[in-house]
Structure 1
Amino acid sequence: TWEEKQAGIVGSNDLPETILGLEHQLEKLNDLPIERDELQTQRISITAQIFDILDEQRISREALFKPVQELIQSNSLIRNEYKLQFQSELKSNLDMIYDRLFLMVKQTAGDFRGESESLAVLRELMDKHDISSKPSLINLVQELHGRLEEASKLPGIQSLLKKDRNANEVYDFIFGLEYLKPQYTLMFQDAQIEQLSPGQRGALLLIFYLLVDKDNNPIILDQPEENLDNETIVSLLVPVLTEAKQKRQIIMVTHNPNLAIVCDAEQIIHCEFSRSNSNDISYISGAIECSIINNKAVDVLEGTIIAFDNRKIKYM
């Protein structure tokens, strides 16, 4: 009986409440840091593989637009003056990362104590690392993970998790790179199209269409000057319209006679709406040299000849 009780106390490796079982668990605990490091290395390796797949998608998109890019390079105006080009890159959205991450993680400890502080940490990391570079991106995810562990009161990030959330969700989000997307954007004078004003975007797309499209069919433009100042109209639209009209007919509706005059329109059609005469709409057409059309252009452009003369006297 004594030997049986002794054997029960000594036990074996697979009996956790015995001496041998406890010693075996202690040995395993000593090995856990090594195993953890190996698993973290494996996780980073998977992250690198995901990045490679996303980068392949980016390169594939770049190849699809290569013929268009070659057309752009063949036109000196859009190549040198407007610096118009397509750019394929891996991009991420700071707000999306913030919203998704802190849907799972509390903002109550360490660097992540408070909403503005948490956002500042993410912005700092995003500004510090180039997410289009694999080594830099790997550093980003590792540093973000490290910041979270530093803010946790317990090993890992368990104490930071919100109710009904688990650590694997956070790790899958950070290391799975679902916030990283291959995107293609149009660049204009070193600025992305998203950074331009609505008027500049419209003008840019019009420039792209008119100069890259090789068709010679007539085209109708409805107020291409909308949301653009006169200087931008003259520097941006006029050179493009002047070049495009060499190979195709351009019919343009505009409230800005600058376009018609500076682009040297072959024919101008002036439209007049009269509320006092039963809402009558009348049209008159002719070349710029025509005195009637010339006067109509001055009326709209300068606010009648009187305003034109006043300005002339002012600057004399």
Structure 2
Amino acid sequence: MLLYHIAKAINPAEVDEKVRLAKASEYKGFDIDFEVVWSNGDLSKLSDVISTKPITYIPQLYINHLAEEDGKSQLNELVKSILMQNDDFKSFTKNQEQKISDTHEKINGTISRIYRLKESYKSLAKDSSEIGTKSAIEEEIKRLQAAILALREKAGFSEQEERAFNHLNSRKGSLEKRHKTVSDAAIFLKQLSDSLTLKGDYLVDELTETVKLDIDAPKHARIVTNSLAELQAGLKLEIESYVSKIALRHQKTPSTLARLDSRLKSTEQAITPLLEKIKEQKALEVIREKLKSEEAKLKRITEIEHRLLSIATDGKALREDLYQSFGELVITYTEYVKEISRPEYQLEEAINISANVAFSSSKFDQFVKSFDGRGNLTNLVGDLADSEGNYIFCPETHAQKIFYIDEKIRRKDEKLPSAKKGTTEEDIIRKLYSDCFYINYSVSYKEDQIETMSPGKRGLVLLNLILHLSNASHPILIDQPEDNLDNRTIYDQLNDFIRDRKKKRQIIMVTHNANLVVAADAECVIVANQDGQQRCFENEKFKFEYCSGSLENSFEDSNKIGILKKQGIRQHVCQILEGGILAFKERELKYGLK
């Protein structure tokens, strides 16, 4: 409990995560605060969840969890953390992760462009189908051209005569339009002249009165009356002059209309023989308009054909880019495996690290779950899965298998299961080409794989790995690392490793094993006692009491109150810890203390 609260006060997130992974116990229900004082004077408090410091917390059973199937991802992270201490590997990893990110972004971008092209293709194909088929339009054009030729021959109407007719017909229309414009203008000018003649004086008087209202002077002053009289006379004169101009223009109207009538008559006389000659002209015009319409359709459908061909070419190139990018993604992961095999990345103590490219079934299941689960999985993924539905992953052939699945989806293979409602083909393809790979690290010790080791040996190797994060200077807190280890293994192997690592980082551990306390040369030993757990082991005052000191602290005083104060650290170690006396004897022999 003390170790838990030390860790919790320093970095609660680290503790919560490790406890969750190890499925270890939490100490809840205590209404307390807890303080940890650092050597530089900094203070970490249980109540302060914001100001945290880095630590490594290893709860009980966490090491066993790493070796289990559901702890594989944490083991991979641990091994990667160790490898990342090497600057070369760190640089390589940074480059590879950037390549993976760039490639994945490129894959998604390519898929987006492919489906934008597909939408354009679909839209253009729809436009084309609404226009009609090219062959049918071409046949209709031939038919209309033949009909026009037949009508011309029937009317004896040559192309030259047709041009003359079109010219005369256009001229007639222009003359009629001009005649109407002049007639309308004549009516307007007469109405304007009549209105000004009738209402001119009234308008001048009204304007004069309005001006008077705006003048700030005696209304009967001579300058005012003279000025207004002059204004009235001038306005009336201008109106009379304007009416005269209108009358002059109006006088010209009859002669203008006469000229237009004459030209219109001569035009009609010229066009009459042609009209009589081509009684089928209206039918000819209708057919000619139809021909123009069909020719416009043919032009549009030809443009669409060229665009569809261009889209198909671009789509094929994009698919090649997609295949290449996905293949490069797989290769980027295999480069990891080759890099990790380099000797400079291997650890000492006969611990060997290797790696392989692994396939995330859970990620790929997102693709599979896009389809109706009642279908046959083999029909969907082919030989990417066995008869029992287990995925078969091979880095060398995986990309080709994905391309094969893509091809079946693209051509809508009838054996494929139905896609779930609301799922688009683009969604499915994105999931198909998603990054389902990861680097799976394998740890061996003296050529034994960690998965096949005995629990004790496996625990030792994993603890060594955790302690191997020697570049980290922050403290490591471990709860009972001796689980599944025998005393000889602890004394022969683990102690030396701990003694070496504690030179570079502080190690705080809870243990019931004397060898980890004595043989590892603990600088400070804290003995804990809970009141009421055992007769004759009562505390002085509190439910939980602690005493601390070095291994050399040795005394016995039965008169003291409280079990912790009755003897020194050495006596507590011998009394509480398994093998305590033997551990001290071996230590004394080692250092020549006796």
Normalising by structure 1, we get a TM-score of 0.54
Q: Does 1:265 align with 2:551?
A: no
SS at match of 2:577: helix
Deviation, 1:47, is 2.0
Q: Is the 8 A contact 1:221 1:252 kept in 2?
A: yes
Report what 2:122 is aligned to: none
SS at match of 1:76: coil
Report what 2:477 is aligned to: 222
User: How far apart, CA to CA, are the structure 1 residues paired with 2:440 and 2:336?
Assistant: 14
1:163 to 401, 405, 421: 421
| Bigger strand share | 1
The runs of at least 4 consecutive aligned structure 1 residues that moved more than 6 Å come to: 17-20, 39-42, 60-63, 146-151, 199-202
Question: Which ranges in structure 1 are unaligned for 5 or more consecutive residues?
Answer: 1-11, 21-35, 306-316
SS at match of 2:522: coil
Report what 2:289 is aligned to: none
Report what 1:139 is aligned to: 400
Q: Is the 8 A contact 1:273 1:282 kept in 2?
A: no
Q: Is the 8 A contact 1:94 1:123 kept in 2?
A: no
1:278 to 526, 537, 541: 541
Q: Is the 8 A contact 1:111 1:151 kept in 2?
A: no
Deviation, 1:51, is 3.0
Cα-to-partner distance string for 1:74-108 (whole Å, 9 max, x where unaligned): x532xx2x2246x5x654321222233322x1123
Q: Which has the higher contact order (CA 8 A, sep 6+)?
A: 2
Report what 2:500 is aligned to: 243
Deviation, 1:289, is 8.9
Q: Is the 8 A contact 1:224 1:254 kept in 2?
A: yes
Normalising by structure 2, we get a TM-score of 0.32
For 1:221, the aligned partner's letter is I
Q: Is the 8 A contact 1:98 1:122 kept in 2?
A: no
| Bigger helix share | 2
Deviation, 1:61, is 11
Q: Kindly report which structure 2 residues correspond to 1:29-40, keeping only aligned pairs within 5 A, or say none.
A: none
User: How far apart, CA to CA, are the structure 2 residues paired with 1:41 and 1:191?
Assistant: 47
2:573 to 288, 297, 301: 297
Report what 1:206 is aligned to: 466
Q: Is the 8 A contact 1:110 1:152 kept in 2?
A: no
Cα-to-partner distance string for 1:166-203 (whole Å, 9 max, x where unaligned): 444434432xx21334x4565432559xxx9xx78973
Say if 1:40 and 1:143 are closer, same or farther in 2 by CA, change over 3 A.
Answer: same
* Number of equivalenced pairs: 244
SS at match of 2:402: helix
User: How far apart, CA to CA, are the structure 1 residues paired with 2:481 and 2:494?
Assistant: 11
For 1:50, the aligned partner's letter is F
Say if 1:51 and 1:236 are closer, same or farther in 2 by CA, change over 3 A.
Answer: farther
Q: Is the 8 A contact 2:476 2:505 kept in 1?
A: no
Deviation, 1:14, is 0.8
SS at match of 1:252: strand
Q: Is the 8 A contact 1:265 1:287 kept in 2?
A: yes
Say if 1:41 and 1:106 are closer, same or farther in 2 by CA, change over 3 A.
Answer: farther
Q: CA RMSD for the aligned pairs?
A: 5.2
Q: Is the 8 A contact 2:529 2:545 kept in 1?
A: yes
Q: Is the 8 A contact 2:530 2:545 kept in 1?
A: yes
Deviation, 1:205, is 5.2
Greater Rg over alpha carbons, structure: 2
For 1:141, the aligned partner's letter is I
SS at match of 1:240: helix
Q: Is the 8 A contact 1:266 1:287 kept in 2?
A: yes
Instruction: Report % sequence identity.
Output: 9
User: How far apart, CA to CA, are the structure 1 residues paired with 2:138 and 2:375?
Assistant: 40
Report what 1:76 is aligned to: 348
For 1:140, the aligned partner's letter is K
Q: Is the 8 A contact 1:223 1:254 kept in 2?
A: yes
Say if 1:102 and 1:203 are closer, same or farther in 2 by CA, change over 3 A.
Answer: same
Q: Is the 8 A contact 1:109 1:152 kept in 2?
A: no
Report what 2:60 is aligned to: none
Q: Is the 8 A contact 1:225 1:254 kept in 2?
A: yes
Say if 1:54 and 1:137 are closer, same or farther in 2 by CA, change over 3 A.
Answer: closer
User: How far apart, CA to CA, are the structure 2 residues paired with 1:17 and 1:166?
Assistant: 35
Say if 1:205 and 1:225 are closer, same or farther in 2 by CA, change over 3 A.
Answer: farther
SS at match of 2:571: helix
Q: Is the 8 A contact 1:222 1:253 kept in 2?
A: yes
For 2:363, the aligned partner's letter is M
Q: Does 1:14 align with 2:269?
A: no
Q: Does 1:95 align with 2:362?
A: yes
Report what 1:173 is aligned to: 431
Q: Does 1:252 align with 2:508?
A: yes
Q: Is the 8 A contact 1:268 1:285 kept in 2?
A: yes
2:328 to 49, 52, 55: 52
SS at match of 2:328: helix
Say if 1:100 and 1:294 are closer, same or farther in 2 by CA, change over 3 A.
Answer: same
For 2:348, the aligned partner's letter is S
For 1:180, the aligned partner's letter is C
User: How far apart, CA to CA, are the structure 1 residues paired with 2:499 and 2:505?
Assistant: 11
Deviation, 1:287, is 2.4
SS at match of 1:46: helix
User: How far apart, CA to CA, are the structure 2 residues paired with 1:263 and 1:149?
Assistant: 65
